[in-house]
């Protein structure tokens, strides 16, 4: 295998030629230029490999089409096998293909602000807006002022199922990066007496991102920040609890390429164990008659429906009100959300 920098240049060039649809001349010329600091021979090697790839692209594409499904769909074999089993061949293929598409950047305006100019309503949900290609979110008008947060329509059920109203006491137990927290805060306006929102994030780096999001959106002074492990939270009772728990991210692999190849059955079991711990610890904080929303960006039953079935078996004082599984498509991410009451 070539040295690290040279290998990276080859991969970037190949991705531009085969996946990103960059014009051939631009992909090759720019990659060769980027390889020149590695050395003259490295740049020549990159040029030769990419030009051969250009010449033999059709042959390589045909060869790829003959590979096993998990290779063609760029998935760990174990993950493809379970999707094929659980979803069936057609839906599993559609999900895998959608997660191979470059994800669009989507935002949701916070009331009362309009969407930024140039952003079009999302075809699946007009309350969300698609950011133009090649546009940085932080370059849009209104970003610095906190007029919107980056959110995919698949996140909507988690917020809607909370059934938020001003005056409620709310816990967001796994709050970073803060997009859902900001939406919760906006729905609690005008913050009458008794309104309370606790946003918890134990990871120091993610906690700083949460703080930045809430500061940008103008909510930092209203929200109580906490950095405890979610399993150690106290301070109830709360009328509403959002548990947007850590998960295997299989509904957002298009946005999380690291999660795609980090996925293993062992990691799935560990994620499910942690989710069960968080549920057990936070459920007692819910006031009688309150509502707890459990959500993930996973489409795995062990993290979603089976997780809740096991919890409800252990806790007959809780009842399932509603649940929504959203499979990923080329237009939106995948997610799961369910509302429980006590």
pLDDT tens column, 66-100? 877 788 888 999 999 999 999 999 999 999 999 98
Shared domain check, 202 and 186:
yes
Shared domain check, 324 and 201:
yes
pLDDT value of residue 101: 86
* 119: annotated active-site residue: no
Average pLDDT of the residues in 13-24: 86
| Token pair listed for 340 | 């429980």
Shared domain check, 133 and 21:
no
The pTM (predicted TM-score) of the whole model is: 0.88
pLDDT value of residue 134: 86
Residue 265 has pLDDT above 50, yes or no: yes
Give the Cα separation of 143 and 289 in Å (integer): 37
Shared domain check, 269 and 166:
yes
Count Cβ atoms within 10 A of the Cβ of residue 218 and give its class: 0-12 exposed, 13-18 middle, 19 or more buried. Answer: middle
Shared domain check, 177 and 313:
yes
Round the average pLDDT of the chain to a whole number and report it.
Answer: 94
The one catalytic residue among 119, 174, 282, 297:
297
315, part of any domain: yes
- 340 with 318: CB under 8 angstroms? yes
pLDDT value of residue 266: 97
Average pLDDT of the residues in 158-187: 98
How many Cβ atoms sit within 10 Å of the Cβ of residue 56? Answer: 11
Tell me the per-residue pLDDT of 40-73, one tens digit each, with 9 for 90 and over: 888 899 999 999 999 988 888 887 778 777 888 8
pLDDT value of residue 237: 97
Average pLDDT of the residues in 228-246: 96
| Token pair listed for 275 | 């989710």
- 12 with 34: CB under 8 angstroms? yes
What would you measure as the largest C-alpha separation in the chain, in angstroms? 71
Shared domain check, 218 and 325:
yes
Parent domain of 8? 4-65
pLDDT value of residue 38: 87
306, part of any domain: yes
239, part of any domain: yes
Shared domain check, 325 and 232:
yes
How many Cβ atoms sit within 10 Å of the Cβ of residue 40? Answer: 9
Shared domain check, 207 and 312:
yes
70, part of any domain: no
| Token pair listed for 84 | 């094929």
Give the Cα separation of 193 and 185 in Å (integer): 14
Average pLDDT of the residues in 326-335: 96
Q: Based on the structure, what is the number of domains in the chain?
A: 4
Tell me the per-residue pLDDT of 290-322, one tens digit each, with 9 for 90 and over: 999 999 999 999 999 999 999 999 999 999 999
How many Cβ atoms sit within 10 Å of the Cβ of residue 309? Answer: 12
pLDDT value of residue 1: 45
pLDDT value of residue 58: 87
DSSP 246-294: ----TT-TTT-HHHHHH--HHHHHHHHHHHHHHHHHHGGGEEEEEEEEE
Residue pointed to by tokens 């150690």: 232
Shared domain check, 195 and 125:
no
Whole-angstrom distance between the N-terminal and C-terminal Cα of the chain?
58
Residue 246 has pLDDT above 90, yes or no: yes
Q: How far is CA 210 from the centre of its chain?
A: 15
> Collapsing DSSP states into helix, strand and coil, what is residue 196?
strand
Tell me the per-residue pLDDT of 186-232, one tens digit each, with 9 for 90 and over: 999 999 999 999 999 999 999 999 999 999 999 999 999 999 999 99
How far is residue 184 from each of residues 80, 220, 235, 256, 263, measured CA to CA in Å? 35, 13, 19, 25, 31
pLDDT value of residue 40: 81
Shared domain check, 293 and 206:
yes
Shared domain check, 44 and 11:
yes
List beta partners, residue 88: none
How far is residue 208 from each of residues 139, 255, 325, measured CA to CA in Å? 21, 21, 30
Residue 131 has pLDDT above 70, yes or no: yes
């Amino acid at each position: 295998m070539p040295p690290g920098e040279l290998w990276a240049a080859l991969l970037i060039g190949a991705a531009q030629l085969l996946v990103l649809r960059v014009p051939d001349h631009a992909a090759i010329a720019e990659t060769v230029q980027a390889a020149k600091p590695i050395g003259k021979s490295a740049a020549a090697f990159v040029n030769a490999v990419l030009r051969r790839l250009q010449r033999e692209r059709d042959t390589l594409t045909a060869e790829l089409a003959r590979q096993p499904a998990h290779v063609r769909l760029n998935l760990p074999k174990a993950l493809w096998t379970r999707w094929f089993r659980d979803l069936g061949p057609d839906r599993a293929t559609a999900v895998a293909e959608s997660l191979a598409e470059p994800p669009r950047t989507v935002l949701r305006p916070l009331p009362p602000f309009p969407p930024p100019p140039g952003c079009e309503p999302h075809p699946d949900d007009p309350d969300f807006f698609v950011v133009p290609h090649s546009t940085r979110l932080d370059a849009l008008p209104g970003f610095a002022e906190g007029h919107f947060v980056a959110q995919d329509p698949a996140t909507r059920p988690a917020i809607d199922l909370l059934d938020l109203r001003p005056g409620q006491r709310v816990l967001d137990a796994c709050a970073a990066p803060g997009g859902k927290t900001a939406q919760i805060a906006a729905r609690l306006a005008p913050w009458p007496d008794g309104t309370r929102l606790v946003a918890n994030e134990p990871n120091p780096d993610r906690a700083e991102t949460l703080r930045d999001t809430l500061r940008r959106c103008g909510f930092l002074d209203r929200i109580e920040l906490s950095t405890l492990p979610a399993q150690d939270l106290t301070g109830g009772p709360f009328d509403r609890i959002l548990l947007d728990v850590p998960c295997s991210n299989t509904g957002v692999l298009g946005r999380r390429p690291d999660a795609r190849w980090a996925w293993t059955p062992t990691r799935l079991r560990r994620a499910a164990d942690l989710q069960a711990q968080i549920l057990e610890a936070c459920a007692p904080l819910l006031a009688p008659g309150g509502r707890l929303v459990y959500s993930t960006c996973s489409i795995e039953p062990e993290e979603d429906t089976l997780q809740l079935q096991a919890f409800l078996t252990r806790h007959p004082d809780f009842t399932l009100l509603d649940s929504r599984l959203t499979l990923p498509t080329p237009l939106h991410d995948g997610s799961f959300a369910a509302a429980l009451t006590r």
